[in-house]
Amino acid sequence: MKTLRQRNIRDYIMVSLLILSTVLVLTPLLIIIGYVVVNGIGAISMDFFTQELGSPARAMQGQPTGLIHTIIGTLVVDTIGVIIAIPIGVGAGIMLSEYPEHKLNPLLRVLNDTLNGMPAILKGLLAFALIVRPMGTFSGLAGGIALAFVMIPIIARATESALMTIPWSIREAGLAIGLPRWRVVLSTIVPAARIGLVTGFLIAFARAAGEAAPLMFTSFGNNYLPTHWTGMILGPVDTLPQRLYSLAISPYSEWHTMGWAAGIVLLVFVVALFAGAQLLTRKKAYNT
Partner 1 sequence: MKTMKLNKLSNLAILAGIMILAAACGGNVERDARRTEREARVDILGAGATFPAPLITAMADEYRTKTNNRITVNYQSIGSGGGIRQFIEQTIMFGMSEAYLSDEVLADIERSTGGTAFNLPITLADVVPTYNIPGIGKGLVFDGQLLVDIYMGRITRWNDPKIAALNPGTDLPALPITVVHRSDGSGTTFVWTSYLTRISDEWGNRVGYGTSVNWPVGLGGNGNEGVAGAIINSPGAIGYNSLSYALLNNMAYGSVVNSSGNTIEPSYEATTQAANIELPDDTRVLFTNTPAPDGYPIAGFAWMLVYENLDRNNAINNREHAQELVEFLVWSITEGQELSETLGFARLPGAAVEKNFDMISRIRWKDEMIGQKTLEERDLI
Least distance in angstroms from the C-beta of 44 to partner 1: 22
For partner 1, give the closer residue by CB, 102 or 133: 133
Q: In this complex, which beta carbon is closest to partner 1, that of residue 52 or of residue 274?
A: 52
How near is the Cβ of 142 to partner 1 at its closest, in Å?
Answer: 10
CB 235, min distance to partner 1, A: 6
Q: Which is nearer to partner 1, 7 or 228 (CB)?
A: 228
Phi, psi of 100 (to 5 degrees): -60, -20
Closer by beta carbon to partner 1, 153 or else 263: 263
Binding region for partner 1 (CB under 8 A): 54-58, 132-133, 136-138, 220-224, 226-228, 231, 235-236, 246, 249-252
Beta carbon nearer to partner 1, 96 or 233: 233
The least distance separating partner 1 from the CB of residue 88, rounded to whole angstroms, comes to 26
At closest approach, how far in Å is the CB of 225 from partner 1?
Answer: 8
In the complex with partner 1, which residue's Cβ is closer, 99 or 252?
252
Residues 6+ apart with CB under 8 A from 272: none
Provide, rounded to whole angstroms, the least separation between the CB of residue 75 and partner 1. Answer: 19
> What type of residue sits at position 97?
S
